Amino acid sequence: MTDGAPGRAADWKVVATIDDLWEGDVGEFYADGLPILLVHLRSGEIRAFAGACPHAGFPLADGDVDGGVLTCSAHSWEFDLDTGAGLNPDNCQLMRYQVRRDGDLIAVAVPQNGVKT
């Protein structure tokens, strides 16, 4: 599958089922060997971000969640789980991936060659 956006070829990969991730939780899943952080917001929506902290590469799923904020366990960087925006520091951003649900299946649009264009 492709995401249909011009110039942005991607493959849709099923990475989890809705039963793998409770509302309010985050988890690390893989698509073609690429770590993906899935976030099941309290609103019921699913978000997907790159699974490693942009600062030091530590797994974000090991961090602490408080409300809608994820704190990286390595150096306490904080991210908004709805948008991926850095909160502390505020000059960073998590790479966000498109998400689709098909029944209980959760699929993520993985950019070709693992690079988001």
**What pLDDT is attached to residue 10?**
81
Closest Cα to residue 19, out of 43, 38, 3?
38
Please state the domain count of the chain: 1
The answer to the question of residue 18 being in a domain is yes
The encoded tokens of residue 90 equal 């505020």
The encoded tokens of residue 86 equal 């850095």
Q: CA 89, CA 107: separation in Å to the nearest integer?
A: 30
User: In CATH, what number is assigned to the domain containing residue 31?
Assistant: 2.102.10.10
The answer to the question of residue 55 being in a domain is yes
Are β-strands 26-31 and 105-111 bridged in parallel, bridged antiparallel, or unpaired? unpaired
pLDDT per residue as tens digits for the range 42-94: 999 999 999 999 998 999 999 999 989 999 999 999 999 999 999 999 999 99
Q: Which amino acid is at 74?
A: A
pTM: 0.85
Residue 44 CB neighbours (<10 A): 9
The dihedral sign for the CA sequence 18, 108, 83, 61:
positive
